[in-house]
Amino acid sequence: MSNLIEFFLSRQLETIQLIRNLVESETPSGDVVRIAGMVEHLAALLRELDAKIEIFATSNGSSLYARFAEGEVESDKPLLIVGHCDTVWPLGTIAKRPFKMEDGKIYGPGVFDMKSGLVIMLEALRAIKELDLKTRRPIEVFLSCDEEQGSPSTRQLIEDIAQSAYAALVLEPCLPGGKLKTSRKGIAQYQLIARGCSAHAGVAPEKGISAVEELAQQIIKLHSLTNHTEGISVNVGVIQGGTLSNVVAAEARAEIDIRFWTNQQQQKLSTALENLKPVLNGAEIELIGKVNRPPLERSERIAELFKHAQKLSLELGFELQEGKTGGGSDGNFIAALGVPVLDGLGPDGDGAHADYEHVLIGNLAPRAALITRLLETV
């Protein structure tokens, strides 16, 4: 096993250079041209490793599907690797916060979420080829263009590809200390619209019905659904309403983010939202929205997959741990299909979506070795 880590250490300069190339090639969510360029670059690298490539054009950009020749595999159910090419950072961030290496860390916009993850995936696949390693299953790769936006144009593609997979490895950033993510919260996003009746706030306020007041009453109800003990959060993050201070507001609206650990919790929350009623006489309310990502619940198969990964990590000289997070990923969609998922396989670091975003150079080789061993043995 040490030989595998030595292989990646011998390629560390090339690995870091490729990370730099990807980080300096900015790919903000929604930038169709730049994401297409990144997809073509990654497709070329994967072709060098003997992958068959298909590129899907969607409304939010290009997404990449790759499949490696089956060879002498034991099963035709593939092992799916999942990642994304987009980042949260606007164009021009690299000029303000350039790529740098300092104190054993690599800094740059998107380096942790998740361009270094893409690179160690490529390195693991390179090891499979150059070291003539055998995999038990066909290997598939899907890299989406809009994960940071909630995968609106790629969710169906992900589900269609993943439904035939034996398991999925997700290259999202890990938890602190390199922990894998075996549980993620589900996410629902709604807009609540309150409608009343406008009137002059000084001359005839009694003739008006304040949509702002109605919305305020509803916000109190919504926030009362939060239960931190059970891991349920209901957050009204944006409110808008009214026209002038001397006019009783005829309309107001709120944007709501809801997080939950289980489908059972989600169903209870949906029922509570559907049962919301106006408080003010004559007011009306309308709820628009849906569940954006189902929860990634830690199933028995996910637990077994993690134990296998943990065993591999011990063979490689370190001990892998697991954890849970309130954020969602494309792994949520896959787990909801009943396919076991190991999420957070990107290299150790910190600062996803933050100015101090970085990865640890010392973790690149061990993480690539872990992914390689998973590709060999799952």
| pLDDT tens track for 224-259 | 999 999 999 999 999 999 999 999 999 999 999 999
Helix (H) or strand (E) holding 24: helix 12-24
pLDDT of 71 reads 60
**% helix, strand, coil for the chain, step of 5:** 40, 30, 35
| Cβ proximity of 67 and 323 under 8 Å | no
Q: How many beta carbons lie within 10 A of that of residue 290, not counting itself?
A: 8
Arithmetic mean of pLDDT, 79-106: 98
Alpha carbon distances (Å) from 248 to 140, 196, 282, 311: 58, 9, 14, 65
Does the pLDDT at position 6 exceed 90? yes
Arithmetic mean of pLDDT, 267-275: 96
* Average pLDDT for the chain: 96
Q: How far is residue 68's CA from residue 36's CA, in Å, rounded to a whole number?
A: 22
| Cβ proximity of 154 and 222 under 8 Å | no
Does the pLDDT at position 144 exceed 90? yes
* pTM of the complete model: 0.93
| Domains, in order of start, for the chain | 2-184+295-377 (3.40.630.10), 186-293 (3.30.70.360)
Give the tokens for residue 362. 């010392």
The rounded percent of the chain whose pLDDT value lies above 90 is: 97
